[in-house]
Structure 1
Amino acid sequence: MVRQGSDSEGSESGHPLLAGLDPEQQLAVRAPRGPVCVLAGAGTGKTRTIVHRIGYLVQMGHVAPGQVLAVTFTNRAAGEMRTRLRALGVHGAQARTFHAAALRQLRYFWPRVVGDEQWDVLDGKLKLVGQAAHRLGAPTEAETLRDLASEIEWAKASLITPESYPEVAAKVHRDTPLPVEQVAAVYQGYEVLKNRARMLDFDDLLLHTAAALEEHPAVAEEFRDRYRCFVVDEFQDVTPLQHRVLDAWLGARDDLTVVGDANQTIYSFAGASPRPLLEFTRRFPEATVVRLERDYRSTPQVVSLANQVIGAARGRPAGSRLKLVGQRPDGPMPRFAEYDDEALEATAVARRIKELVEGGLPLSQIAVLYRVNAQSEAYEAALAEHDVPYLVRGGERFFARQEVRQAMAALRTASAAELAGDLPGAVRKILGPLGLTADPPQGGAARERWESLLALVELAEELAAEVEGAGLSRFVAELDARAEAQHPPTVEGVTLASLHAAKGLEWDAVFLVGLVEGTLPIQYADGDDAKIEEERRLLYVGATRAREHLWLSWALARSSSSGGRRRRRSRFLYGLIPDEHPAARVARSRGREGGRGGFGQTPPERCRVCDGPLIGTMAIKVGRCGRCPSDVDEELLERLRTWRAQRSKALKVPAFVIFTDATLLAIAEQRPVDTAALVSISGIGGSKLDRFGSEVLSLVQGRTSSVE
């Protein structure tokens, strides 16, 4: 029979560690030793509850600090738990990741379990996986090796041996990088090479720790005598291998507290499963179960949208039906926006971020979240254009990715011949052999590579639109300049992160971008209900990262030149935003109806010549539509170019970091006479105005501006 945490009165009710906790949190803290399951929704104070429970058990004399082992999934979370425990005066309790705890135990017991020199831990699998694949004549391209390494990690985390891999992979319809028999052979070869080198990978730390406790009674007895109380955070993310280690730690005991939220299960691809959380009371019928649903992180408006997202999920088991209740004061409604192309979407996001920062919001309290890392490049460029510092989290910087470096090398080689024809077409032809197929791959590293290569084609399209007659050599120079410039110093900045990398974090303002079919949900999830629901949970995780401001946006095409490649907004948005909402037709209606575009806050950009709507990145930058004639002052434009070249050389930065060609063209056309007119031009923000404004105005007025 499940105990729902009866709140019996007594002398304990006034304990200092219960002060400031809500009734449900107090129930979790005061629950007796034994199995306890805390179903904790996003933003409900689960970490506070965990550490107060540990502190309470220690201070009430139920367990000694050194007998507590708390495990979680990231070093950051474990460090935060240790810090909070120390603040409560609890010294000696262990708070570690699964792997760190296993490594510490394995090092201690190794002499008795193995008896010889301890094996080192591999930094990564790729080298040995590559050797195993090469020996078998399997493909050894970088993305294939990454996918093979991930597949081996999934198999080991799922307790699947090389011998059983083909059968299991076929049974669960696993998307494999190679035929299942070939993957199994590479897996087997990798294990042989690793063992021969007397090395352990991270999965081995868990496997060997479990085996040591299972097969050596004296080792198990010593361990279980040392640790008596176990706490597991993020229990919805445990893999079968981690659960096996936990069972080995526990033995026949039940002094276990687990905390989790099945609605935030987003790592199934790596072997994680919410089943142990959802079936906890079946295993421990006498468990105390506490539900934390009071959300202290987000405003009621954000909470309401998050509830709508997850409430539409299919087949939700009882243990996942948490409904958050916002506890903060009211805030702004979540906003939706639709754009013609991704460049316009990124520009609008950058502008809105700049408004928030100018309104006093710290850069570190703003995040742009996307489904795949390849999406970051558009936002890196847009933020750089608007002088907004940013940090990329959870993925390589765009120009540091291996496929991008390979592509740039191929483009540089081809530029010597300067292929004839249009620039985007030439770039597509060069990148074809590197993986830029007509249709995107289903998923994995190959899809990530494809997205990165396509982003380079889109850069070529942008350059061709801005610079008449631009060829490969000009494009390569532009790429080199971008690669050099997009390495900002490590300072406070807007966070750019994938939805997976954002798990466990929170910000005052969150932009969820690129919400289109094929991206969220990702294309390879289509047709698989379980994968679709995991994609829905990703959106839920993203929405619950926001404390106050939440924006959701999508673009109908990759670029303004993509023609008929129209896209649909994500299916997950239906029910959140009605079909008749202005955001659903902003790109079509802003010129015709004079309505407000973007995030429903800023009037649409209009041509300074004909007052028509500005559609497309270049049109917005120069302030006029393509059909209106240019009134550029050619002499001024030449002066600006000469000045920019001198400034670029003096500051040792690429020319476009000073001002892009489009910004110079806009200055030469609009001929601003004061700072107000100058700052209204796209690409001229506060910092550039302070640094270059007086020089540019002098050039406009016909005076020569000296370079310091």
Structure 2
Amino acid sequence: MPDSSDKVLNPEQIEAIEYGEGPLLIIAGAGTGKTTVVTERIKYLITQKNISPSEILALTFTEKAAREMETRVDEALPLGYANMWISTFHSFGDRILRDEALNIGLDPKYKLMTEAESVQLFRKNLFRFDLEYFRPLGNPTKFIDGMLQHFSRLKDEDVSPLDYQKFMEGLGETEEEEKNRYKELVNAYRAYEEIKTKESLVDFADLISNVLKLFRTRPKILSNYKDKFKYILIDEFQDTNYAQYALIKLLAPPPKSNLTVVADDNQSIYRFRGAAVSNVLQFIKDYPEAKNVVLNQNYRSTQTILDNSYRLIKNNDPDTLEATMGISKKLKKTREVEEKTVEFLMSERVEDEAETVAQKIQELSDTYSYKDFAILVRANNHADPFIKELARKGIPYQFLGPGMLFRQPEVKDLIAYLSVLYNYEDNVAIYRLLSMEFFEISGRELATLLNFSKKLNLSLFETCEKTVENNGDLTVVGKSLSKPEIGEKTLKTLTNLITMVHRHMELAKKDTAGQILYYFLEDTGLIKTLTDYK
């Protein structure tokens, strides 16, 4: 795709960039340069319309996208920019609340909880929620995750505890048991909100719901922000949920505000978090005078890929913007590259599929480098079979999904090492450590050490210590035991490992876990192995 600084823009992009005042809906297919359009529109407003950067608010969904937009705007403007609000929805909410939280009775120095911390808070206060059905005697924490997700979705749908109570009271002729369950949820929801307020805690959903509460109950503050932001731009609008769209409408009231939204219903990826593609259709109703611009020129793919993907996505009709609005979203290529047929490989089992993909990569590796290949999966856990097959065939790979960080073998090894330092009697952790390929301890020698640890009634780590102390001869410790079969190379490895563990145990008194892990990687030479990716 041409760099925005080159100003190689097509007519539709220019139309969107130079649009004047009023609402604007940009329907941008994949690879059509929507980020360039948003960036260039911001540049146009500042340089051509003399809008101050501080009067522009640009919102997107991920920190990565926000940083990319910031970088592009900074590069596009001759002297960079200052005081512009470019952020994610949640960062925007956090920034507002840090300044205004006192106006709705919140501590502006609140702590933003992670999901794990939310679970811990709920567990700690479990018996304050007056639960019966949702706190079964045999497993009282069974429903904690589900309830927290439920509360988060309520916030996404802009449902307060009072709204939820009204819903429960209006159930009418509902079975008593089901009504009691809703009553438990209503009371737990209210109690959870009270606990968070009392302890100056908020979760991510609160960043939006509390700003909504602020703007609705403090009209003067809302008026200040409405006056402040003359132009608002929303990227990935199809991924907004009900609460986020409600927030947008407060800042840019229908029907004639200077609101630009960029959307593509075919790329909605946050429906599981309450994102509503219907927001795009609602936008058309809320802002009937909005200008619609469709970007159809694709800068990324071949026409073969575009045609096949279009034919597939047409199966979603009539529930698409294309069918609803009577527009064409069929993408056209701009790159002159060789067209290649799209292959469809079918397998009965996922393991067979992974093997087929790995074999295909090996076949093509004579023509391409391994870094030229990418495997896309729908969810992080679907990558497991492919990871195993690539490792089995010796194909180097990088897994880029953050969701499975703690399931990566290398990360498990590091956690195992920290576990050994914390508790050297953790046999599972020391066994994983000894099993690392880097140490080259054979399965037979591992089995020998395990057997001796059982016979001597010692932990596996202590057995390794005794083995090192007695130069591999454990008959000194157990008179009736035969000498274990530990090779000279393994004995040297154990000596170095035990010495290193003792040294790091001392360092752990004052150094952080991160520093200790760095020492481990450096002392073993693993850091070179892990970073030497081809």
Q: State the TM-score, normalized to the length of structure 2.
A: 0.67
Structure 2 CA distance for aligned equivalents of residues 269 and 102 of structure 1: 21
1:63 aligns with 2:79: no
1:128 aligns with 2:130: no
1:383 CA drift (Å)? 1.7
Structure 1 CA distance for aligned equivalents of residues 277 and 398 of structure 2: 34
Letter in 2 for 1:286: E
The residue that corresponds to 2:32 in the other structure is: 44
1:87 aligns with 2:75: yes
The residue that corresponds to 1:153 in the other structure is: 152
The residue that corresponds to 1:303 in the other structure is: 306
Change (3 A) 1:650 1:255: farther
1:191 CA drift (Å)? 1.8
1:207 aligns with 2:206: no
Change (3 A) 1:192 1:105: closer
1:179 CA drift (Å)? 5.4
Structure 1 CA distance for aligned equivalents of residues 316 and 227 of structure 2: 44
Task: Classify the secondary structure of the residue corresponding to 2:346.
Answer: strand
Structure 2 CA distance for aligned equivalents of residues 206 and 257 of structure 1: 20
1:649 CA drift (Å)? 8.4
Question: Contact conserved, 1:383 with 1:390, CA < 8 A, in 2?
Answer: no
The residue that corresponds to 2:511 in the other structure is: none
Letter in 2 for 1:344: D
Query: Deviation string for 1:631-651 (max 9, x for gaps)?
Result: xxxxxxxxxxxxxx9988888
**Out of 235, 247, 250, which is 1:248 matched to?**
250
Q: Gaps (5+ residues) in structure 1?
A: 1-15, 409-472, 487-644, 653-686, 688-708
Letter in 1 for 2:266: N
Task: Classify the secondary structure of the residue corresponding to 2:345.
Answer: strand
Moved more, 142-151 or 61-70: 142-151
Letter in 2 for 1:91: Y
Task: Classify the secondary structure of the residue corresponding to 1:32.
Answer: coil
The residue that corresponds to 1:24 in the other structure is: 12
Structure 2 CA distance for aligned equivalents of residues 399 and 228 of structure 1: 46
**Out of 378, 392, 401, which is 1:393 matched to?**
401
1:170 CA drift (Å)? 9.3
Question: Contact conserved, 1:300 with 1:331, CA < 8 A, in 2?
Answer: yes
Structure 1 CA distance for aligned equivalents of residues 302 and 403 of structure 2: 29
Structure 1 CA distance for aligned equivalents of residues 375 and 259 of structure 2: 37
Letter in 1 for 2:154: A
Letter in 2 for 1:157: D
1:380 CA drift (Å)? 1.9
Change (3 A) 1:179 1:485: farther
RMSD of aligned residue pairs (Cα, Å)? 3.9
Question: Contact conserved, 1:301 with 1:330, CA < 8 A, in 2?
Answer: no
Structure 2 CA distance for aligned equivalents of residues 344 and 481 of structure 1: 31
1:371 aligns with 2:361: no
Structure 1 CA distance for aligned equivalents of residues 57 and 36 of structure 2: 16
Change (3 A) 1:259 1:79: same
Change (3 A) 1:143 1:646: farther
**Out of 315, 330, 339, which is 2:347 matched to?**
339
Structure 1 CA distance for aligned equivalents of residues 141 and 334 of structure 2: 48
1:111 CA drift (Å)? 4.4
1:485 CA drift (Å)? 6.6
**Out of 80, 86, 96, which is 1:105 matched to?**
96
Task: Classify the secondary structure of the residue corresponding to 2:151.
Answer: helix
Letter in 2 for 1:107: R
Question: Contact conserved, 1:132 with 1:186, CA < 8 A, in 2?
Answer: no
Question: Greater helix percent: which structure?
Answer: 2
Question: Contact conserved, 1:71 with 1:232, CA < 8 A, in 2?
Answer: yes
State percent identity of aligned pairs. 26
Instruction: Count how many residue pairs are aligned between Structure 1 and Structure 2.
Output: 405
1:35 aligns with 2:23: yes
The residue that corresponds to 2:223 in the other structure is: 221
Query: Deviation string for 1:484-511 (max 9, x for gaps)?
Result: 579xxxxxxxxxxxxxxxxxxxxxxxxx
Change (3 A) 1:482 1:260: farther
Task: Classify the secondary structure of the residue corresponding to 2:276.
Answer: coil
Change (3 A) 1:485 1:210: farther
1:266 aligns with 2:274: no
Structure 1 CA distance for aligned equivalents of residues 59 and 28 of structure 2: 16
Task: Classify the secondary structure of the residue corresponding to 2:49.
Answer: coil
Letter in 2 for 1:217: P
Task: Classify the secondary structure of the residue corresponding to 1:95.
Answer: strand
Letter in 1 for 2:393: H
Question: Contact conserved, 1:38 with 1:259, CA < 8 A, in 2?
Answer: yes
1:321 CA drift (Å)? 5.6
Structure 2 CA distance for aligned equivalents of residues 75 and 257 of structure 1: 20
Structure 2 CA distance for aligned equivalents of residues 648 and 304 of structure 1: 59
Query: Deviation string for 1:44-70 (max 9, x for gaps)?
Result: 111011101111111112411121110
Task: Classify the secondary structure of the residue corresponding to 1:377.
Answer: helix
1:344 CA drift (Å)? 2.7
Give the 5 Å matches for 1:575-594. Answer: none
Question: Contact conserved, 2:381 with 2:404, CA < 8 A, in 1?
Answer: no
Structure 1 CA distance for aligned equivalents of residues 15 and 140 of structure 2: 54
Letter in 1 for 2:146: D
The residue that corresponds to 1:529 in the other structure is: none
1:249 CA drift (Å)? 1.9
Structure 2 CA distance for aligned equivalents of residues 648 and 336 of structure 1: 49
1:98 CA drift (Å)? 0.6
1:353 CA drift (Å)? 3.1
Structure 1 CA distance for aligned equivalents of residues 349 and 214 of structure 2: 56
Task: Classify the secondary structure of the residue corresponding to 1:335.
Answer: coil
Structure 2 CA distance for aligned equivalents of residues 84 and 186 of structure 1: 45
Structure 1 CA distance for aligned equivalents of residues 286 and 6 of structure 2: 29
Question: Contact conserved, 1:18 with 1:26, CA < 8 A, in 2?
Answer: no
Question: Contact conserved, 1:234 with 1:259, CA < 8 A, in 2?
Answer: yes
Structure 1 CA distance for aligned equivalents of residues 13 and 105 of structure 2: 44
Letter in 2 for 1:370: V
Structure 1 CA distance for aligned equivalents of residues 103 and 163 of structure 2: 31
Letter in 1 for 2:111: D
Query: Deviation string for 1:130-177 (max 9, x for gaps)?
Result: 345555251567774333222221111101234554858999xxxx9x
Structure 2 CA distance for aligned equivalents of residues 310 and 100 of structure 1: 33
Task: Classify the secondary structure of the residue corresponding to 1:34.
Answer: coil
Question: Contact conserved, 2:106 with 2:200, CA < 8 A, in 1?
Answer: no
Change (3 A) 1:50 1:307: same
Question: Contact conserved, 1:231 with 1:257, CA < 8 A, in 2?
Answer: yes
1:311 CA drift (Å)? 0.6
Query: Deviation string for 1:560-612 (max 9, x for gaps)?
Result: xxxxxxxxxxxxxxxxxxxxxxxxxxxxxxxxxxxxxxxxxxxxxxxxxxxxx
Moved more, 128-137 or 101-110: 128-137
1:188 aligns with 2:190: yes
Moved more, 334-343 or 41-50: 334-343
Give the 5 Å matches for 1:545-584. Answer: none
Letter in 2 for 1:146: D
